Amino acid sequence: MGQEFAHYEIRNLVAIVTIDHPPMNALNVATKEAIGETFLELDDRRKEIRVVILRGGGEKAFAAGADIKAFLELNPETAKRRLTQSHEIYNIVENFEWPVIAAIHGFCLGGGLELALCCDIRYATDSAQFGFPEVNLSVFPGNGGTQRALYHMPLGKLRELTYTGRMIDAQEALRYGLVEKVVSDSDLMDAAMELATTIMKKGPLSVVAAKKVLNRTQDLPLADGLELESDFWAALTATEDMKEGARAFIEKRKPTYRCQ
């Protein structure tokens, strides 16, 4: 596959992607490229999966931000080029066809938190730590953090984290809306797999359509969002899965979905 810093396995329609750049899973250029390549390969195998779980390898971190040594080599031109590449990779994760669940343990900082915010749902261990520490290096979140975080937390809280570089624990992240659930360290993958299994049992075409609508309407005026929503909803009525779901409900049985 060509990935040195990321790899995946498929278990019962769930793809588990692991960031593998020990000890902190720092998101240098090669690691980000490996993540992007992994998701592109999974896109080629999308008929074999229904959900993706993204996790960090090792015991210390989901991903602890950028490779700081590389900062010394940057100038405005190279920095802009590198950020553009990061945006492209993060967009691949955010717009992946199937839902992506981030399973977060340890440190989830800077670019790591920005990557987690590209996922549809975030579960974290109670020992996880979150933050945007970039201000300590006289920069700020530049991989989408100032934009995507606003979909989950109040502007004032985002300003506080961005301006101070303060780290927060999982319970505070839960209160802010940065994560959806906090579990014990030992239960993280079980909880993520349980969620993935629940999603897998639903109509797959409806899950895909719902994700597209939710992603595309975030910044649209209400009228435009409603129009897009109704277009996708109406299109589902032409699918056999939609009719199977209705028949199964009427007949009081579990539906058998075939992605058609």
Where in the sequence numbering do the catalytic residues fall?
Answer: 114, 134
Contact status, residue 21 vs residue 38, Cβ threshold 8 Å:
no
Q: Which amino acid is at 92?
A: I
Q: State the pairing for strand pair 168-169/129-131.
A: antiparallel
CA atoms within 13 A on the CB side of 214: 17
Cis peptide before 133 (omega within 30 of 0): no
> How far apart (Å, rounded) are the C-alpha atoms in residues 117 and 144?
9
Tokens linked to 70: 């590389």
Element (H, E) at 51: strand 51-56
Hey, CA dihedral for 87, 62, 141, 183, is it positive or negative?
positive
Residue with tokens 């960031």: 19
Contact status, residue 130 vs residue 173, Cβ threshold 8 Å:
yes
Hey, CA dihedral for 219, 135, 107, 69, is it positive or negative?
positive
